Amino acid sequence: MPLYPYLCMYCRVHACMTERDYYDVLGVAKSASDLDIKEAYRRLAFEHHPDRNRSPEAEERFKELSEAYAVLFNHEKRALYDALGPEKYDDPREVLFYRLKQEAANRELEREYQASKSARRNDAAETVGFLIFGLVMIDFIIPSWVLGPWFYVFNAFLIPAIAVGIYDSFKD
């Protein structure tokens, strides 16, 4: 029986138990801005830099600070870190699955947007069609001598309404 799967499982559990949250490492909140992260990093890096602090854990702490800063200051890495958590953000397989899910969600949103856009367009075309139908009916039912000069004003609105309706029906 191979021991490799058990070894991998142990490494993952060990890494999860020893890995700290990068926000805690820098001492900032999850909602911290880039400026807050930068200030916290500079303050702590100045304090724990191996050239300034000769204690044995200072170098390890400085590496941890640098890694936390590198992840949290990069917007793409920070988004992955926030979405996947500290144990999975740098796992290529988890990142791939996350990005595939995001792309699928974006495609679904695009489909919904296009469907609502099409529905609005159909509603607008239907409304314009009813208005044009009403205007044409009024134009044919009421004789021109009843309206007098207003007949020409009425037709001045009717012709552009028909043109707009035809344009909207062929647009996109």
Looking at the fold, whether 68 and 19 belong to one and the same domain comes out as yes
Whether residue 142 is predicted with pLDDT greater than 90 in this model: the reply is no
Domain-located, residue 24: yes
Q: Which domain holds residue 160?
A: 119-170
Q: Residue 85 — left, alpha, or beta (φ > 0 → left; ψ -120 to 50 → alpha)? A: left
Residues 6 or more apart from 91 whose CB is under 8 A from it? 84
- Element of type H or E holding 36: helix 34-48
Whether residue 16 is predicted with pLDDT greater than 50 in this model: the reply is no
More confident residue, 53 or 11: 53
Q: Which of 7-11, 31-35, 104-108 has the lowest mean pLDDT?
A: 7-11
Average pLDDT over residues 107-134: 84
Domain's final residue, options 44, 71, 86: 86
CATH code at position 26? 1.10.287.110
pLDDT at 112: 94
Q: 3-class DSSP state for residue 90?
A: coil
Q: Which of 2-6, 51-55, 126-130, 138-142 has the lowest mean pLDDT?
A: 2-6
User: What gap in Å lies between CA 31 and CA 45, rounded to an integer?
Assistant: 21
Q: pTM for this one?
A: 0.56
pLDDT at 136: 74
Number of domains in the chain: 2
Quick one: angle between helices 150-170 and 92-141, nearest 10? 150
Domain's final residue, options 61, 86, 111: 86
Looking at the fold, whether 21 and 75 belong to one and the same domain comes out as yes
